[in-house]
Amino acid sequence: MIDKVYCADVTPEMEGKKVKLAGWVYRKREVGKKVFIVLRDSSGIVQVVFSKDLNEEAYREAKKVGIESSVIIEGTVKADPRAPTGAEVQGEKLQIIQNVDFFPITKDASDEFLLDVRHLHLRSPKVAAIMKVKGTLMQAAREWLLQDGWYEVFPPILVTGAVEGGATLFKLKYFDRYAYLSQSAQLYLEAAIFGLEKVWSLTPSFRAEKSRTRRHLTEFWHLELEAAWMDLWDIMKVEEELVSYMVQRTLELRKKEIELYRKDDIKTLKNAVPPFPRISYDEAIDILQSKGVNIEWGEDMGADEERVLTEEFESPFFVYGYPKHIKAFYMKEDPEDPRKVLAADMLAPEGYGEIIGGSQREDDYDKLVQRILEEGMKPEDYEWYLDLRKYGSVPHSGFGLGLERLVAWVLKLDHVRWATLFPRTPSRLYP
Ligand SMILES: NC(=O)C[C@H]([NH3+])C(=O)NS(=O)(=O)OC[C@H]1O[C@@H](n2cnc3c(N)ncnc32)[C@H](O)[C@@H]1O
Ligand SMILES: [Mg+2]
């Protein structure tokens, strides 16, 4: 490994220090007998100046390099308030690792083109910032889950049944039969709680969604928790504590990257502290109707309706108590109102809407069989899952958080596709 100094670590206090840098040419301009190169690496940027009078050989090499050329540079640090980071490097040696005559990404590139060359666009500091924030959100999640006593488990991705409806299953040939790509690890997490009680997993989930919205991917990263003995209200507390910790910790560790996207508009992030507001589905319908939205009780809220609802809040909030017929088979019927289930979604403000879907699960064998039949599914396809209700069944609850949706809200991205390394949508499978 090259014994290098990272660009962001070059500070005015290092005046006079000799440094070795390795990175890519981010910007370049020539003024008189000087070449100014802004070098980029994973930490950020630093300006390097090559002067013909000071070192003609290095100057000549600097004149040759094109944007995104990979280079190793040696030089001396000089404090300079005019430099982008308050300090620059006087270039004394430049080794060209690979020169690039033409880099295909230009300032006027369209979103679709940037997605076509996603493998080249990932290196841009603004895209790298998204990936740093996504990684830090998960680092924070792991910190919280560990201290709160949750066990990480690793569920299967090749499965035989639907969790969230058969319409969005990806089917694939599996030797002499068929399998599906997992829509959610939930059913397997439910099996794990009988030994571990509080479990979590981060897995890719797959949805053959035909809807082309700014919040749907066909492959997304799914953070899911499941806990024995918890009811809906217990798991909602877990959700708000986890999300709050993830957001506040990421604000602390990734302030620079968040400011790149939000500038100083971080009020809703700071507001993400428990308790989050809670409204019932009934109240949500009343609010929407009072705002002129054409929706009746019993109808599902889509992205548009949720967007209007989020206008009422300046932090994440819960909607609970949805009608049974618009929710999944595994959700427990509300004992106080058989029209409803003990389900809650967490919605992000600023128009982002649903980031978490969760519920208390039906733990009664006969009721679950009845729900499976009501949904037109076959109990025999869920025999193992029904077994969990035959051998020491317990009240239990859980939820799934869409990581890209959380990132999209935290950075106010205009589409979840920007929140994933290589987005997968109905029209995009390459690169
Ligand atoms: N363990 C559980 O209880 C999870 C449960 N079985 C489940 O999958 N619920 S969910 O369908 O609402 O999806 C959960 C979250 O997963 C995200 N999600 C769900 N579908 C998508 C798509 N298509 N693209 C991106 N993100 C998606 C979104 O944030 C949802 O709130
Ligand atoms: Mg949902």
- pLDDT by residue (tens digit) across 203-226? 999 999 888 899 999 999 999 999
Pocket probe for ligand 1: among 137, 164, 418, the residue whose CB has the most ligand atoms within 8 Å is 164
**HEC secondary structure over 297-328:** CCCCCCHHHHHHHHCCCCCCEEEECCEHHHCC
**H/E segment holding residue 252:** helix 232-253
- Confidence (pLDDT) at 63: 98
Q: Which CATH class is domain 115-418?
A: alpha beta
Residue among 280, 278, 277 at smallest CA distance from 337: 280
Q: How far apart are the first and last CA of the chain?
A: 29
- pLDDT by residue (tens digit) across 80-102? 988 877 999 999 999 999 999 99
What's the rounded mean pLDDT across residues 161-176? 96
* Distance from C-alpha of 60 to C-alpha of 26, rounded to nearest angstrom: 18
| CATH architecture, domain 7-98 | Beta Barrel (2.40)
Which backbone phi and psi does 403 adopt, to 5 degrees?
Answer: -65, -40
Other Cβ atoms within 10 Å of 298 Cβ, number: 13
Q: Does the fold of domain 115-418 match that of domain 7-98?
A: no
**Domain spans in the chain, listed from the N-terminal domain onward:** 7-98, 115-418
Question: What residues pair up with 368 in beta bridges, in sequence order?
Answer: none
Q: Is 149 exposed, middle or buried (0-12, 13-18, 19+ CB in 10 A)?
A: exposed
pTM > 0.95: yes or no? yes
What is the ipTM, given to two decimal places?
1.00
Q: Report the mean per-residue pLDDT for the chain.
A: 97
Cα torsion through 263, 268, 270, 275, rounded to 10: -170
Name the percent of the chain in helix, strand, coil, to the closest 5: 35, 30, 35
Show the CA angle centred on residue 325, arms to residues 242 and 360, nearest 5°. Answer: 30
**Residue % of the chain over a pLDDT of 90:** 97
- pLDDT by residue (tens digit) across 21-48? 999 999 999 999 999 999 999 999 999 9
- Confidence (pLDDT) at 85: 78
Question: 214: CA distance to ligand 1 center in Å?
Answer: 14
| Ligand 1 pocket by Cβ (under 6 Å) | 163-164, 184, 186, 207, 209, 216-217, 220, 222, 224, 354-358, 398-400, 402, 404-405, 416
Closest residue by CA, ligand 1 atom 22: 216
Closest residue by CA, ligand 1 atom 19: 402
Pocket probe for ligand 1: among 362, 405, 407, the residue whose CB has the most ligand atoms within 8 Å is 405
Other Cβ atoms within 10 Å of 57 Cβ, number: 12
- pLDDT by residue (tens digit) across 243-297? 999 999 999 999 999 999 999 999 999 999 999 999 999 999 999 999 999 999 9
Taking 80 as the threshold, does the pLDDT of residue 320 lie above it?
yes
- Confidence (pLDDT) at 141: 99
- pLDDT by residue (tens digit) across 13-26? 999 999 999 999 99
* Distance from C-alpha of 421 to C-alpha of 137, rounded to nearest angstrom: 15
- pLDDT by residue (tens digit) across 364-376? 999 999 999 999 9
| Cβ atoms 318, 276 nearer than 8 A | yes
- pLDDT by residue (tens digit) across 326-343? 999 999 999 999 999 999
Question: What residues pair up with 398 in beta bridges, in sequence order?
Answer: 226, 359
* Distance from C-alpha of 419 to C-alpha of 409, rounded to nearest angstrom: 10
| Cβ atoms 226, 214 nearer than 8 A | no
SS3 of residue 353 by DSSP: strand
- Tokens standing for 171? 């089917």
Contacts with 156 (C-beta within 8 Å, 6 or more apart), sequence order: 182, 188
SS3 of residue 32 by DSSP: coil
- Confidence (pLDDT) at 212: 85
* Distance from C-alpha of 204 to C-alpha of 159, rounded to nearest angstrom: 13
Question: What residues pair up with 202 in beta bridges, in sequence order?
Answer: 223
* Distance from C-alpha of 38 to C-alpha of 31, rounded to nearest angstrom: 14
DSSP 278: E
Q: Is 338 exposed, middle or buried (0-12, 13-18, 19+ CB in 10 A)?
A: exposed
- Confidence (pLDDT) at 393: 98
- Tokens standing for 408? 């999209």
**DSSP per residue over 179-239, as a string?**
EEE-S-SHHHHHHHHHHHSEEEEEEEEE-------TT--SEEEEEEEEEET--HHHHHHHH
Question: 184: CA distance to ligand 1 center in Å?
Answer: 7
- Confidence (pLDDT) at 28: 98
Pocket probe for ligand 1: among 150, 222, 226, 382, the residue whose CB has the most ligand atoms within 8 Å is 222
Question: 397: CA distance to ligand 2 center in Å?
Answer: 15
- Confidence (pLDDT) at 112: 97
| Cβ atoms 122, 80 nearer than 8 A | no
- Confidence (pLDDT) at 185: 98
pLDDT band at 314 (very low <50, low <70, confident <90, very high): very high
Contacts with 106 (C-beta within 8 Å, 6 or more apart), sequence order: none
Show the CA angle centred on residue 60, arms to residues 19 and 121, nearest 5°. Answer: 70
* Distance from C-alpha of 167 to C-alpha of 176, rounded to nearest angstrom: 23
